Chain A
Amino acid sequence: MIGGTRKLLFGRKKSLEAFESEAMPHLGDLQRAATSLLGDRAHADDVMQEVYLRAWKSFHSYQAGTNCKAWLFRIMFNCIHDHRRRWMNLNMVAAEEETLERKLTYSPPIPDKLTDKEVLRSIEELPINYKAVVILADVEEMSYKETAEILGVPMGTVMSRLSRGRKLLRTSLAGVASDYGIGTAKGGQS
């Protein structure tokens, strides 16, 4: 029976080549998302290394042909969650969300001209939970269901965070426009 050990141990196929072709092409997207989420490239790079190391260690559980990017994003959010526990008090984030919910009753119009820099600055100001949903649903174009699975939250939470996240972005971008005297599109719905 122990003879099976040989077959067992040498039967394991975990190819770096497969990992390279399946997982590594998504590095850029994850890196950009992590930088936007954390607002700090050095932190994001640390997280990336951890994400890919964790992914490699559990690569045997990944089924070829399934959504590798979504799988990597899930690992990334777990890593970020672990890091953030060390960096800040998560209760503060929850309290912040409640306050925002009370404030968000108005969607200001969106400025006609927006630079990437202004948009990035506004994204940076978003609470991380909203940022996460905006990045997954709007940048990565994942469905509500995929986003909910990656973040481990109900779909209703994804929908409400996306809606509030967009309203916050509009508020912030409207402020930018007004600061610089930039004109805005007329007729934004209240």
Chain B
Amino acid sequence: MKVIDFGHAECKQLEQYLDSYVNNELSVETSHKLVAHLEGCEACSREVAARIRLRAAVKRAIEGQETTNDVGAHIRERLREEESKARFRSWTIPLAVAASIAIAVTTWTRVAEPEPWEIALAGQESYIDALYELVPPMIRVGLGDHAHCAYFRNFEGSLPAAEMAEQLGPEYDGLMQLVDEHIPEDFKTVLGHQCEYRERKFIHLALKRNDELLSLVITRRDDGESFSRDELAPVLNAAGVSVYGARAGEFEVAGFEAGGYLGYVVSNLSNATNLEIAEAVVGPVSEYLGG
């Protein structure tokens, strides 16, 4: 905090700091200097006392308002209804997933010989739909691409770095190296490409460490898109960038806004580890994207 010297300040100049003093927002050093001035200035002391009195009167008046219990009762009733609906969905969604696969297999068996990937794809899409039920829309963006492109892909080895760089394109030159520098050493990049999922384009890096799979998913931010709009609260501040977290089953998602982009770190790691990695990469990636 900046320290203000009131030694030779006129009372009028000092006035602008009185509210911050009353709200305990000045640094300790500045407060000490202000107090020293107040000790020798009766007018300013009275003014501070008046502001403290006003603050106390406002607090007392608002806190003294009576509230009704009816609202609490209504809210609890509605929450119980929502909880019942959620329970119902938790049973019906897996049934719907199973049913959709069964229908797909039956239909294809009768009409045409289904390709294994077609069966798998129907299941995958139902699975991702079920995942989407668990999280707000802004979280779905990164979660869906991770599930589609990384989780359902059977990684055996990885493409050569040069090929991945080519698939990412010159616009994102250096992104892989940047992530590599900030992520734990034992993670290996197994995928780097531009992709499209559900009519949205992504820059996608996937990294593996034994059975652990992690994605950095980046996409252009559409007008009006923001995590705060989904009522998400930041769980972390990484180099001045707010990071928003959510969990969908075994997936941890950490999302952030970087200028015209949305970024996500998605993995099957623990909440703490996923956030730890997000904290390490969000700042550099955000700077890289011009956020």
On chain A, the residues within 8 Å of B78 by CB distance are 49, 52-53
Contacts of A120 in B (CB 8 A): 61-62, 65
Q: Which residues of B contact A2 (CB under 8 A)?
A: 97-98, 101, 123, 127
Q: Which of A83-91, A92-100, A131-139 contacts B (4 or more CB under 8 A)?
A: A131-139
Does A163 reach chain B (CB closer than 8 Å)? yes
- Least Cβ–Cβ distance between B68 and chain A, in angstroms: 8
A181 contacts partner chain B, Cβ-Cβ < 8 Å: no
Residue A21 lies at the interface, judged by CB distance under 8 Å to chain B: no
How far is it, in angstroms, between the C-alpha of A110 and the C-alpha of B184 when the chains are bound? 60
Closest residue of B by beta carbon distance from A55: B231
Listed in ascending order, the chain B residues whose CB lies under 8 Å from chain A are: 11, 15-16, 19-20, 23, 25, 42-44, 46-47, 50-51, 53-55, 57-65, 67-68, 70-72, 74-76, 78-80, 82-83, 86, 90, 93-94, 97-98, 101, 123-124, 127, 130-131, 134-136, 139, 151-152, 228-233, 235, 244-251
The total of interchain contacts (Cβ-Cβ below 8 angstroms) comes to 194
Partner of B79, one of A16, A114, A143, A173: A16
- The reply to whether A159 and B20 contact each other, CB–CB distance below 8 Å, is yes
- Contacting pair B79 A166 (CB below 8 A): no
With both beta carbons as reference points, the residue of chain B lying nearest to A27 in the complex is identified as B72
Given contacts A16-B79, A35-B65, 16 further A-B contacts (CB under 8 A): A1-B151, A2-B98, A5-B93, A5-B94, A5-B97, A9-B130, A19-B79, A20-B76, A36-B62, A53-B79, A60-B135, A60-B247, A71-B233, A107-B47, A139-B62, A187-B43
Known: A120-B65, A152-B228, A189-B46. A5 touches B74 (CB 8 A): no
Q: Known contacts A53-B79, A74-B228; is A166 also within 8 Å of B19 by CB?
A: yes
